[in-house]
Chain A
């Protein structure tokens, strides 16, 4: 098992180096002078220009710049935001809990509901339950989620007034930040009203962000379940006279969930893409909105650092899922 984990870790190294290269090359690919680009509309004197070129190391040869850049990364130096003058890493850390809280809720909804719907559809194969769930899943899978978000806002926020239109929590609620997760912090502060406000703000973004992973998980669970139900060991279990309940939960489901775990892991990348759209629409103060704002503000150090951090995070999650997959599926481990 240890060899398996080490092997996976080694495989990830070249990819990670590649990601730093992409992030590094990115800023150099931008047309025009990097300092003028960062200065934007403001005028820069020739002296200040040279000073800034030297400060950011743009006067060095490219390989040297790359070495300095990766050296900085190892020390947690991801550059500085041009608009806020703060380090990119601390900006990222300040916004990350918001995205994590939203993504976690969305993933929870997608996993629980998706697996349940998939099992139900597989067990009632061909029935109207199956057709309805799979039809709904296909609609969800085809959904332009930015439009879906607008529809939900029109219905639940504008017309019914049940949920707030945007933000993470009502501006009248105050409590100290401990974990950065509104749901937890509000409870720690002993403020149920704040907790309720956070829940209300979370509902629509969670539904929007969960839509596509939910559809994917439901479809994957159904087909994995159908495949497993046709296996010989299930037939054997049946012919032994085991209770159907026992066969489904013990023999079939545990094996069917193996490919589903991989699917769920792959959805993390989808989720981060979805977070860009969801956070923009709901003004959710997380990583996705931060990236969009930085792109339109031409704050390229942030874009570069954010790109790198997000990719690294997705890679780590995939690595974890890979190892988890090896743990639950011995066939992969010993191949």
Chain B
């Protein structure tokens, strides 16, 4: 890796022809050629920065109630109160500050859910695809059962059992998203496991665990990365939906879906309380999906024609 990255070394050993680029650089160039994906990446990175530096950026404490500024409209509307750029909600809390802190929740939800679903899905899928037979049949039937339920409904019922709350909602969503990773991994493993390089590693004496994780897994990563990106945005949407239905994060948490649930009754009187949190969800999810589309085009050799 480091050797191919060094241009001097390359030119010394290969006097003629263009220097070969590392696969990472090649993928990046392809990805960066996609304008939408690049915009998505920039917006996403901005969201990450906002989440990290929320206490520094937010003009107010997200829980502080300004009793003299209840339901103040955003700055461009008549009657706006100075200091509240996007207005305040029914309890006089600054919406902008709540949105900024809400970014932390959404990104954490995406990260935790995808990590849980990805790790369990990969392990389950590797085991099923590698060993085959009844192990495979049993695991895949269980995945079929999970997939037979509409994901939001299953997550709702799971949360009803283990109790409403942000953490339980994340667990439920991870359970619901996990079969996609398991199926994907299994399919890729079944396609790879009879290839010559796996055979060679086996002949060289590699044990099952090494074959699964070191030899086969790295060659199945492309589709998994794309699925992880899509699951990230799905997790944010589903968690917001659960919050909206009162089964996710509980008030006064400034989670975007929960904010929408609190705002519902002001649909006739104060549109900004309803509009802003949804816009935040849409922009974040859209950015991640743009990245996902770009990654799919980059990592799928079938689509890549250049």
Residues of A within 8 A of B (CB): 14-15, 18-19, 22, 26, 29-30, 135, 138-139, 141-144, 146-148, 150-151, 153-154, 158, 269-270, 272-274, 276-277, 280, 291-292, 295-296, 303, 307, 310-311, 314-315
Contacts and interface: CB of A to CB of B under 8 A. Distances in A.
16 contacts: A15-B145, A30-B161, A138-B290, A138-B293, A139-B282, A142-B237, A144-B241, A147-B260, A147-B278, A150-B264, A151-B278, A269-B148, A269-B150, A274-B152, A310-B150, A311-B149
Contacts of B290: 138
Given A142-B237, A276-B245, A295-B156, 18 more contacts: A14-B141, A18-B148, A22-B145, A26-B157, A29-B161, A138-B290, A138-B293, A144-B257, A147-B282, A148-B278, A150-B260, A154-B267, A269-B148, A273-B151, A273-B153, A303-B157, A307-B157, A310-B153
A274 B153 CA distance: 9
Given A273-B153, A311-B149, A146 B244 contact: yes
Given A150-B264, A269-B150, A292-B245, A142 B289 contact: yes
Contacts of B240: 144, 146
Nearest to B293: A138
Contacts of A307: 149, 153-154, 157
Contacts of B285: 142, 144
B148 A276 contact: no
Interface stretch (B5-13, B77-85, B268-276): B268-276
Which applies to chain B's interface (DSSP): helix, strand, loop or mixed? helix
Contact of A310 (B142, B149, B247, B275): B149
B272 to A, nearest CB: 11
Interface string B250-277: 0000000100100010011001001101
Contacts of A29: 161
Contacts, number: 118
A196 B274 CA distance: 30
Given A143-B282, A311-B148, A311-B149, A151 B141 contact: no
Nearest to A266: B147
A30 B202 CA distance: 47
A272 B150 contact: yes
Given A15-B145, A154-B274, A277 B267 contact: no
A40 to B, nearest CB: 14
A107 to B, nearest CB: 15
A29 B268 CA distance: 41
B233 interface: yes
A18 B282 contact: no
- Counting chain B CB atoms within 10 Å of each CB, which of A143, A147, A292, A296 scores highest? A147
Interface in B108-151: 141-142, 144-145, 147-151
Contacts of A143: 282
Q: What secondary structure prevails in chain A residues at the interface with B?
A: helix
Given A138-B286, A277-B244, A144 B237 contact: yes
Instruction: Give the 8 A-B CB pairs with smallest separation, nearest first.
Output: A147-B278, A273-B152, A18-B145, A273-B150, A272-B150, A142-B286, A142-B285, A144-B281
Among B141, B144, B149, B246, the one with the most A-chain Cβ atoms within 10 Å of its Cβ is B149
Contacts of A26: 157, 161
A140 to B, nearest CB: 10
Given A146-B260, A154-B271, A295-B156, A277 B282 contact: no
A30 B141 CA distance: 24
Contacts of B241: 144, 146, 277
B103 to A, nearest CB: 15
B160 interface: yes
Given A147-B282, A158-B267, A158-B268, A314 B161 contact: no
A142 B233 contact: yes
Contacts of B268: 158
Contacts of B36: 135, 138
A268 to B, nearest CB: 9
Interface in B266-306: 267-268, 271, 274-275, 277-278, 281-282, 285-286, 289-290, 293
Contact of B160 (A144, A147, A303): A303
Nearest to B289: A142
A150 B274 contact: yes
Given A15-B141, A138-B293, A280 B245 contact: yes
Contacts of B145: 15, 18-19, 22
Contacts of B156: 276, 291-292, 295
A13 B58 CA distance: 55
Contact of A276 (B153, B246, B281): B153
Interface string B155-176: 0110011000000000000000
Contacts of A273: 150-153
Contacts of B153: 272-273, 276, 291, 307, 310
Contacts of A151: 274-275, 278
A150 B148 contact: no
Given A144-B237, A144-B240, A154-B274, A19 B157 contact: no
A15 B148 contact: yes
A153 B150 CA distance: 26
B36 to A, nearest CB: 8
B124 to A, nearest CB: 16
Contacts of B147: 269
B289 A138 contact: yes
A77 B153 CA distance: 22
A210 B282 CA distance: 17
A178 to B, nearest CB: 29
A18 B141 contact: yes
B226 to A, nearest CB: 14
A29 B160 CA distance: 11
Q: Which of A15, A154, A280, A315 counts the most chain B CB atoms within 10 A?
A: A15
